[in-house]
Structure 1
Amino acid sequence: MPSHKTGYLYALVAFTIFAAQDGISKHLGTFYPPVFVAMLRYWAFAVFVLLMAARSSGGIRGAVMANRPWLQISRGVLLAVQIVFSIFTFAVVGLAHSHSILASAPLIVAALSVPLLGEHVGWRRWCAIFVGFIGVLVILKPDGEGFDNSLLITFVAVFMLALYSVLTRLGSKSDSAMTSFFYTGVAGAAALTLVGPFYWVSIAPQDWGWMLALCITGMSGHYCLIKA
């Protein structure tokens, strides 16, 4: 199968997994601090990344040796913060409303690909991006009741997600998928560990299953996205 078609399949699988993951995130974010939820998820993610790196051809040392380490660290931390924002907005704004806005991420990716990746975006695609953003405004239904300030967090989350996707593509030009995967898990876990313990709470027994499902979907989804 041509490489671009394989990439499309990986992307389809990744975003299907992310859809299920967001539903789980909304449930957990309603009852627990988003930073705490994201931290536990990233701890499991980091363990999984280390195990995969150890089994790879170059081992953990090979995965760490990034050609552009600051780029890899930045995208790992960026995604961790984005996930915290997303969990918060799922719980506060609502899953359907949040996803309506998050669906504009590909539009931002296309716009950012010009200055950051040097890709060409023709006038037809720019027109599609413009129409897409009009659609986002329609979803928000601006009226006399005023603007919901909580939606600003959703806008920040969608921009961060788009920027992460572009930086992932940029990192793939110089580093392997294993290196990108390693920094996604380890850098993100390190960043959240600096903050998450301050929000530590006890998890109800019935929610441990949901936490496990969140960890599994997070690991598999981001690996598929990096492969894409």
Structure 2
Amino acid sequence: MTSQASLDAADEKARRDRLLAITLMCGALMCFACLDTSAKWLNRYMDPIQTVWVRYIGSILFVTALINPVTHPGALKSNRLALQLARSLLLFLSTILNFFALRYLQLVETMSILFSTPLIVALIAGPLLGEWAGPRRLAAIAVGFVGVLVVTRPGIGGLHPAALLSVAGAFCYALYSLATRVLAAHDSSETTMVYSGFAGVVLTTPIIPFVWTAPPSLMVWLVMFAVGAFGALGHWLLIVAHRYAPAPVLAPFIYTQIVWMIALGLIVFGDVPDAWTLTGAGIVVLSGLYLLYREREQKTSTDRTAG
């Protein structure tokens, strides 16, 4: 009886932890949606490079407050320094490409294209990491890219050419994700987090004096602060969420971000996504969810074999 009670208590705790993790994950995604919304709004008043700089300065200040030589001795020491720097550069490229694309595209359009990242990861993980996709996963990848084509509609009067910036940003983010996966075996998560914003600050700070535009109002100052705050808070919530539940449990909830993007685009900018965008986004989301399902099934099968 005592043993059964202990098992029931453990199951209840695991259930509460999963619910807490899902709540934190959804909060992080809301922060990221607010980050992109704030960046798009700031594009009316300043160069996107200035917005990127503000975003990374906020992140660096937050990370430094949590992870520094006092709280985490040795956090700056990396066993794969070159890969850490390359990963940081890829994250910076993905961010700046997305922020420039936001000048011309709706929030839901950029997010629909960015959702192709899991498809790109599954496709390039084979030649880069030896993790080859099977025929079912390849079919899901092909369908997902059809969804991206539906959103962008190249050559038939679809989106603004800035959609290509979002596509390039998705490829950079996919490579960033693979680099993160490789680094997990060599460096601590704290070390990887410290280096995440390195390229963004180093590459944009020298340019800022040439593109700086003084904020014309208190509201612009507040939104600039919000960009840094949303980015820092979102990453913190993301990290905490993964302490309470594994990535496979949380991954499907990534796609809830498109709901926030549609709502914020409508409320802040009056953007109403057309049927093509919604259809393409739906195709990409379903393809990504299927890939997550196949990955979970494959992991379960491997665990059973190992057991």
- Shared fold, TM over 0.5: yes
Q: What are the equivalent positions in structure 2 for 1:10-49 lying under 5 Å apart?
A: 13-49=27-63
Which amino acid in structure 2 is aligned with residue 221 of structure 1?
G
Q: What is the 5 A alignment of 1:1-228?
A: 1=14, 9=22, 13-54=27-68, 57-59=71-73, 62-142=74-154, 144-145=156-157, 148-203=160-215, 204-223=217-236
1:89-144 Cα deviation digits (max 9, x unpaired): 11212222222212211111221222333324222111111000011111223454
CA contact (8 A) 1:109 1:163 kept: yes
**Cα pair distance change 1:110/1:30, threshold 3 Å:** farther
TM-score by length of 2: 0.65
- State how far apart, in whole Å, the 2-side matches of 1:140 and 1:146 are: 6
How many residue pairs were aligned?
Answer: 223
Deviates more, 1:148-157 or 1:69-78: 148-157
CA RMSD of aligned residues (A): 2.6
Contact 2:58/2:231 (8 A) holds in 1? no
Rounded to whole Å, the distance in 1 between the matches of 2:133 and 2:143 is 15
User: Counterpart in 1 of 2:257?
Assistant: none
Distance 2:188 2:70 in 1: 11
Equivalent AA in structure 2 for residue 200 of structure 1: W
Question: 1 CA distance for matches of 2:130 and 2:233?
Answer: 29
2:287 maps to none
Q: 151-160 or 46-55, which moves further after superposition?
A: 46-55
Unaligned runs of 5+ in 2: 1-13, 248-307
Q: Which amino acid aligns with 1:79?
A: L
Matched-pair contact (CA < 8 Å) for 1:80–1:192: no
User: Structure 1-normalised TM-score?
Assistant: 0.85
Q: How far does residue 176 in structure 1 lie from its aligned partner after superposition?
A: 0.7
Matched residues in 2 for 1:178 and 1:205: separation? 35
Q: Distance in 1 between matches of 2:38 and 2:160?
A: 24
Distance change >3 Å, CA 225–CA 192, structure 1 → 2: farther
8 Å contact kept, 1:78–1:160 = yes
Q: Which stretch of structure 1 is more off in the superposition, 193-202 or 138-147?
A: 138-147
Describe the SS at the equivalent of 2:187: coil
Per-residue CA deviation, residues 141-196 of structure 1 (Å, 9 max, x unaligned), is: 34544874322212111111221122112211211111011001233211221323
Task: List alignment gaps of at least 5 residues for structure 1.
Answer: none
Q: Is the 2:54–2:225 Cα contact (8 Å) retained in structure 1? A: no
Identical pairs, percent:
35
Distance 1:131 1:176, change over 3 A: same
